[in-house]
A and B are shown apart, each in its own frame.
Chain A
Amino acid sequence: MNKKIGQALVVGGGISGIRAALDLAEFGYGVTLIDRAPHLGGVLTQLDHQFPTNHCGMCKMLPLVDRDKAAQFCLRKGLFHDNITLRLSTEVMAVDGEPGRFDVTLRQAVNPVDPDRCTGCGECAEVCPVEVPDAFNAGLGLRKAIYLPTPHTIPNRYQVDAAACTRCGACVDACPTQAISLNDKARKDFHILVVDDELIVRDSLKEWIEIEGGFSVTMADSGEAALEALKTRQVDLMLTDIKMPGMDGVTLLQKAGELFPDLTVVMMTAYATVETAVEAMKIGALDYLIKPFDPDALIPKIVGIYDAVKTPDEPPLKVGSIVLSSGSAFYDPSEGKDTLGYGQLPDVVTQLEFERLLSGTGPTGGHLVRPSDGRPVGRIAWLQCVGSRDLQTDADFCSNICCMISLKQSMLARDKARQAGMDLDTHIFYMDMRTFGKSFQRYRDQAEESGVNLTRARIHSVVPDLTQGDLQLRYADMSGRAEECHADMVVLAAGQRPPLGTAAMAELMGIGLNPWGFPETEPFSLVHTDRKGIVAAGAFTGLKDISASVTQASAAALNASRTIHEGGGSLKLESGSAHEYEDLSRQLPRILVVICTCGERLKPVADPRLLTRHLKQDPAVDQVLFLDRTCTAEGWASLVDMVRNINPNRLLIGACQPYAYARKLKALGADTGLNPRLMDVVDILSSIQGREGEPEAFQAAMIAELRMAVARLRHADTSAVPGVPVTQSALVVGGGIAGMSTALAIADHGFPVDQVEQSEHMGGNLLWIKNTLGGHETAGLLSDIRSRVEKHPHIRAHTGARVLCSFGQAGHFLTSLGTGEETVENIEHGVAILATGGREAVPDGYHYGENDRILTHRELSEKLDAGDIRPETLNTVVMIQCAGTREEPRNYCSKVCCGAALKHALALTDIHPDLQVYVFYRDMMSYGFTESYFTEARRRRVRFIPYTKDRKPEVLLEGGAVRIRAHEPLLGRDIEMGADLVVLAAGVVPNLSADLAQSFGATLDGDGFFQAAESKWRPVDALKEGVFGCGLAHSPGNIPESIASAEAAAQRALRILCHALLPSGKLTADVRHSLCALCERCIEVCPYEARSLDPEEERIMVNPVMCQGCGACAAVCPNDASYLEGYAARQMLEMIDAAMGC
């Protein structure tokens, strides 16, 4: 077992939290991953499908190298990694210390259900009388007060909703394993003193607290009486009014505090004296309650205080660094001035609610019906920018992903309708369709081709049409005509909001917030907060799609790791000696079969004697034992005893939910010395439900299942797959900001880096980009990073050099560099990172190159910086966006051009406020918080004129003068103007040649950018392990985005570099060379490029680290020479026999 030296805390277990935790864990650190929700996965637990594949794919985040450290199964079901401690329903209470040495106090909410006893049978929920809106289904549908947080977590344990529970105790009696304890006595022993001069307040509080809370209450009518009461009896909590005749509440607080320093006091106050209450908190009050009390809010608050007082403080957790990934919340349209019917009309739903309606685990079982009356839906309208880009809701920002979500939902809904044989009308009303991410534009095109209507219009309100029984929307079309449309359902794209408690968390952590309440990061970083050692990831800094979240999470992990490293946490993994197990391969198999009886459930469907007889027919089966509830702590303890006493050399457990046993089997192995690879768990119980009536068929299926597992175990092979030695150094191709960032990130962790830059200077595009849209100068960033790279003892820079060729695989590459004509240098390295950058495209059309008044944004930028263009001498400047992009052949958004146009428009009008600036655009991509610059440009009367692909503005040359003729769709007229400058947004093209990518085994996407292994879940990895891409070579992006992808690539590379010998997975393919005919079909078919032909040995080689055990090679091999460990032919045939009942 590796001893983990560094420790990190990840706050928030959504997708970015999981990514950051896995990255840090794979690097060898110990990670505590917490979430305040009782489940893992954040908002993604509620979303089944993601664009652009319209599928899930979360499992693609699982470790690929050293992958047996984690359980390899669906991440929605749970996350298991040897180095990750998962704590749910947990929050951070305090953070002390300094970067590298933080002391963090955590508090876990008390769940009355004991997870070691709960089997998830659900009998408690059946009897629970309380129903509340189901949060998992975004409030659609109801659930009980005792509930499963998600339907799919494994093991799935019930949870009590403390705010809803009435403590009736029905569940306690119903639970067959006595797992629930409401602890009535402990509450009765908790004494609360209520001090108020008004009898009615005292009385009603006493009643509420005693009946609904189950606590003991005494009352006092004045401060003096309260002090007397305190002296006569033990009081745990005092609730005191502030304004009372005689001694007031604050004086009482002071006096009581002197006498009983440990007493917890909560102030009660009318709204008018809230300030006094806040003052009281400064002198020792814990909290305050505002009158009049809402009993629904009061009891949970008192229960919270009770839990806090009664739960002993945990010893502080020592961590080197903290990653904040608490996700994002959504705007509630019912709170706005313009509710669009949300909250009143049941057929108006938010995007999240619609996701639940699409889901098979949703309130309608995935049937697309109207929430109001259950009738099938024929027309759906999506309304964009609800609570985004709306100054009336204090949202001068774009929420980044709603456009893509609406496109996705419209396509999913159409698919669903088509499958049901129905016609569905889908209509998206948008302001700008923001498809700025990699491949997003093509996704939009795909949606439009599939029949989704897109209309550029904003809907002002949704009204019910009583005659037709549907919803009516009115909008203005482009010409200004008012149009009407009807829909059965309206989906609101509710914008991002900071999650609840962000302000408090920011104060606790000592980090700053931006004007909209999201964590502020440093100007050139997406992850650095203003407290060193605390980094932010994912949607916590503003909603983002999965690939951006995952990239940012890896970058956050990298920077967290940097802090831990700087703080003294050693990077060396302590001896890689995994637990050594006895080699049992020569022994005859003696299989112990343990079958879980699951309470009384197995009895009616299976006869233990018959089962035993059948299984024992196989001589490999030594004993068959029955055990009640293997999943509980007690059940497991007796299983451990059985293994100890019987000492079998193989173990088969017949139970349910095999996933849940991953961690337990490892522990059992360490405990008993039996190799976990000789253990297996099969699911025989989960199919009982509903089959109680047919015991014979059920029993036969169960026997077949168990015998298959016996056959598999009998042939289980424990021989170790050799690891791969790693050359612990990296090659970075490219010396721009991305290349330098990634090189520094790796070198800072103590690994040598060779950095290749083909020009004579490092710096890339930063050599000409002098400032950013945010008004930050890049000179400091460039000189700082350049000098760090130059001085770094671990970085060897090769400027003026090119990669000639490279071959090799994860762990060892050999690359030849050419410097000048003849010099060739060979470099050995373990990983390669392609950061070759990108450049501004050369515009085609618009008379570019024919007149020096027509130029690109880069040229404008350079001329402004050089003083060649003086804004005060200009009258009219015209900018044309998407000059050559977002249509074939370059059908992608370059992401940075709209920002550049805004930057230049603002810079020009800064100097010359009366300058006429016209911007012709298709969709302004001022995503995220850059929307505020768009607003500012509008305020300055920069004129933005939309155009379409088939009606572009024309540039006319008249002698030396330049004129623009274009259509103004809002006025419905043609307009014409003279222009002193025409600035073309030509977009970004990558500097990544196919040859270069090919030599490392990477591939390019259709637009020439680095092809990611998976655009969402593995955004910076190439499909071939050990090769990574970042910066502009990967996808267009601004400086912070490029740095984030660079740091993410570094983090992914470090997972490999940190091993001297990279452990292989259990399930890997190999070749019987004597049978191999070298037909090379297996090489072609391997999706991970794990196979290669060794020309000298004339053998097919398999890199066991890159091999993911998919078995494609074994299937394609005509000679049976390729095979997959653990799936030997004999084993498989015996399993098939067992399954067939032979």
Chain B
Amino acid sequence: MSQAQSKTIQATGTTSSDLAEVRDMVAACIQCGTCTGSCPNAFAMDLTPRHMWRMVLMDQIDEVFQSRTFMLCSACYTCTLRCPRGLPLTEALSLLKQRASRDDLPCYRQSTRFYRRFIDSVRRHGRVQETTFIALYFMDMTPKHPLLPLKYTPLGLRLMRRGKLSFPNPFARAGGQSLESIFNKVAALEEAV
């Protein structure tokens, strides 16, 4: 923060057009801070929600994509419910997440790849299969983060002790054509948007 405070923003008035949608969603913000006050994850955020929305509105979008704020949103919808302007804040946050995922922005890979592999696992097995999912995730991440598996080891052991991990055939496919067509449909819809 201290570095940020000393920095003088040059208000230029340019925003990449694909983020105009997010900006328009929060345009009527009155900076009351209800979103920050109500956010259960705000303690872990580098920019608290109001701060981040202010950056969006002040066209500091690049910096928004250096913060982890929107990735930490757990979509509890409290801010959306409490916002006196009725702004679709949770939706706006998920648009930011989608953008980070689509552009595969390096600083969010830890999160976006996690989501992606999770979905891959569901698509392949009809449900999440923890072992294969985590293995694929580590494969994605280890080139850059070789120690990541170690970080997860204690959690893995705990889960194993409680019998929370299953070890089915990693190559078995389930769900069949119907699940696949759901995924295809979603992909087509997203394409259309």
Residues of A at the B interface (CB closer than 8 Å) are 337-338, 385, 389-392, 431, 457-461, 474-477, 479-482, 875-876, 916, 918, 935, 938-941, 943-944, 946, 965, 968, 970-977
Find out whether the CB atom of B27 lies under 8 angstroms from the CB atom of A941.
yes
Q: Is B99 an interface residue (CB 8 A)?
A: no
Find out whether the CB atom of B37 lies under 8 angstroms from the CB atom of A480.
no
- A977 CB contacts on chain B under 8 angstroms: 10-11
Would you mind naming 22 contact pairs between A and B with Cβ atoms under 8 Å apart? A338-B82, A389-B84, A475-B33, A475-B37, A476-B36, A476-B37, A476-B48, A480-B51, A481-B48, A876-B13, A918-B11, A938-B27, A938-B29, A941-B57, A943-B57, A968-B54, A972-B51, A973-B4, A973-B7, A973-B8, A975-B58, A976-B8
Find out whether the CB atom of B43 lies under 8 angstroms from the CB atom of A482.
yes
Nearest chain B CB to A922's CB is how many angstroms away? 14
- A938 CB contacts on chain B under 8 angstroms: 27-30, 85
Q: Is B32 an interface residue (CB 8 A)?
A: yes
Find out whether the CB atom of A476 lies under 8 angstroms from the CB atom of B50.
yes
Contact of A970 among B23, B24, B51, B83 (CB under 8 A): B51
Q: Give the docked Cα–Cα distance between A970 and B51 (Å).
A: 6
- B36 CB contacts on chain A under 8 angstroms: 475-476, 480, 482
Knowing that A460-B34, A474-B37 are A-B contacts, what are 5 other residue pairs whose CB atoms are under 8 Å apart, sorted by A's residue number? A392-B83, A482-B39, A939-B27, A939-B28, A977-B10
Q: Which residues of B (13-59) have their CB < 8 Å from a CB of A?
A: 13, 23-24, 27-39, 42-43, 47-48, 50-51, 54-55, 57-58
Q: Give the docked Cα–Cα distance between A939 and B13 (Å).
A: 16
Interface string of B114-133 (1 = CB under 8 A from A): 00000000000000000000
- B54 CB contacts on chain A under 8 angstroms: 968, 970-971
Find out whether the CB atom of B1 lies under 8 angstroms from the CB atom of A972.
yes
Q: Is B86 an interface residue (CB 8 A)?
A: yes
Residues of B at the A interface (CB closer than 8 Å) are 1, 4-5, 7-11, 13, 23-24, 27-39, 42-43, 47-48, 50-51, 54-55, 57-58, 60, 78, 81-86
Q: Give the docked Cα–Cα distance between A918 and B24 (Å).
A: 17
Find out whether the CB atom of A968 lies under 8 angstroms from the CB atom of B58.
yes
Find out whether the CB atom of A480 lies under 8 angstroms from the CB atom of B33.
yes
Q: Give the docked Cα–Cα distance between A875 and B12 (Å).
A: 10
Nearest chain B CB to A481's CB is how many angstroms away? 7
Contact of B37 among A392, A460, A876, A975 (CB under 8 A): A460
Nearest A-chain residue to B11, judged by Cβ:
A977
Contact of B28 among A481, A916, A935 (CB under 8 A): A935
Q: Give the docked Cα–Cα distance between A475 and B37 (Å).
A: 4
Q: Give the docked Cα–Cα distance between A148 and B86 (Å).
A: 43
Nearest B-chain residue to A340, judged by Cβ:
B82
Find out whether the CB atom of B37 lies under 8 angstroms from the CB atom of A457.
yes
Q: Give the docked Cα–Cα distance between A940 and B43 (Å).
A: 32
Q: Give the docked Cα–Cα distance between A973 and B11 (Å).
A: 12
Find out whether the CB atom of A976 lies under 8 angstroms from the CB atom of B10.
yes
Contact A338 to B81, CB < 8 A, known contacts A480-B47, A970-B54, A972-B4: yes
- A457 CB contacts on chain B under 8 angstroms: 32-33, 37
Nearest B-chain residue to A977, judged by Cβ:
B11
Nearest chain B CB to A469's CB is how many angstroms away? 22
Nearest chain A CB to B157's CB is how many angstroms away? 34
Find out whether the CB atom of A970 lies under 8 angstroms from the CB atom of B37.
no
Nearest A-chain residue to B20, judged by Cβ:
A941
Contact of B9 among A431, A460, A968 (CB under 8 A): A968
Contact of A971 among B24, B30, B55 (CB under 8 A): B55
- A338 CB contacts on chain B under 8 angstroms: 81-82
Contact of A940 among B27, B29, B60 (CB under 8 A): B27
Nearest B-chain residue to A390, judged by Cβ:
B84
Find out whether the CB atom of B48 lies under 8 angstroms from the CB atom of A480.
yes
- B78 CB contacts on chain A under 8 angstroms: 460
Find out whether the CB atom of B11 lies under 8 angstroms from the CB atom of A875.
no
Q: Give the docked Cα–Cα distance between A476 and B7 (Å).
A: 22
Q: Give the docked Cα–Cα distance between A476 and B54 (Å).
A: 13
- A474 CB contacts on chain B under 8 angstroms: 37-38
- A431 CB contacts on chain B under 8 angstroms: 30, 32
Q: Give the docked Cα–Cα distance between A459 and B82 (Å).
A: 9
Contact of A482 among B9, B23, B37, B60 (CB under 8 A): B37
Q: Give the docked Cα–Cα distance between A971 and B7 (Å).
A: 10
Q: Give the docked Cα–Cα distance between A916 and B55 (Å).
A: 15
Find out whether the CB atom of A459 lies under 8 angstroms from the CB atom of B37.
yes
Q: Give the docked Cα–Cα distance between A944 and B85 (Å).
A: 15
- B39 CB contacts on chain A under 8 angstroms: 482
Q: Give the docked Cα–Cα distance between A460 and B84 (Å).
A: 9
Contact of B5 among A461, A875, A965, A972 (CB under 8 A): A972
Contact A460 to B50, CB < 8 A, known contacts A968-B58, A973-B4: no
Q: Give the docked Cα–Cα distance between A916 and B73 (Å).
A: 30
Give the top 6 A-B pairs by smallest Cβ distance, nearest first: A476-B36, A476-B33, A460-B38, A458-B32, A480-B48, A480-B51
Q: Give the docked Cα–Cα distance between A337 and B79 (Å).
A: 12
Q: Give the docked Cα–Cα distance between A460 and B37 (Å).
A: 6
Contact A973 to B5, CB < 8 A, known contacts A385-B84, A391-B86, A480-B50: yes
Nearest B-chain residue to A935, judged by Cβ:
B28
Q: Give the docked Cα–Cα distance between A458 and B46 (Å).
A: 21
Nearest A-chain residue to B52, judged by Cβ:
A480
Nearest B-chain residue to A337, judged by Cβ:
B81
Contact of A975 among B11, B29, B34 (CB under 8 A): B11
Find out whether the CB atom of B58 lies under 8 angstroms from the CB atom of A392.
no
- B31 CB contacts on chain A under 8 angstroms: 944, 946, 970
Find out whether the CB atom of B28 lies under 8 angstroms from the CB atom of A458.
no
Q: Most chain-A CB neighbours within 10 Å: which of B37, B43, B86? A: B37
- A876 CB contacts on chain B under 8 angstroms: 13
Q: Give the docked Cα–Cα distance between A144 and B102 (Å).
A: 68
Find out whether the CB atom of B86 lies under 8 angstroms from the CB atom of A458.
no
Find out whether the CB atom of B10 lies under 8 angstroms from the CB atom of A460.
no
Q: Give the docked Cα–Cα distance between A938 and B27 (Å).
A: 6
Q: Give the docked Cα–Cα distance between A457 and B36 (Å).
A: 10
Nearest chain B CB to A893's CB is how many angstroms away? 19
- A944 CB contacts on chain B under 8 angstroms: 30-31
Q: Give the docked Cα–Cα distance between A737 and B105 (Å).
A: 62
Q: Give the docked Cα–Cα distance between A385 and B33 (Å).
A: 13
Q: Give the docked Cα–Cα distance between A970 and B48 (Å).
A: 10
Nearest A-chain residue to B13, judged by Cβ:
A916
- A476 CB contacts on chain B under 8 angstroms: 33-37, 42, 48, 50
- B48 CB contacts on chain A under 8 angstroms: 476, 480-482
- B8 CB contacts on chain A under 8 angstroms: 965, 973-976
- B51 CB contacts on chain A under 8 angstroms: 479-480, 970-972
- B85 CB contacts on chain A under 8 angstroms: 391, 935, 938
Q: Give the docked Cα–Cα distance between A139 and B51 (Å).
A: 41
Nearest chain A CB to B20's CB is how many angstroms away? 10
Find out whether the CB atom of A482 lies under 8 angstroms from the CB atom of B42.
yes
Q: Give the docked Cα–Cα distance between A329 and B23 (Å).
A: 37
Nearest chain A CB to B32's CB is how many angstroms away? 4
Q: Give the docked Cα–Cα distance between A945 and B16 (Å).
A: 22
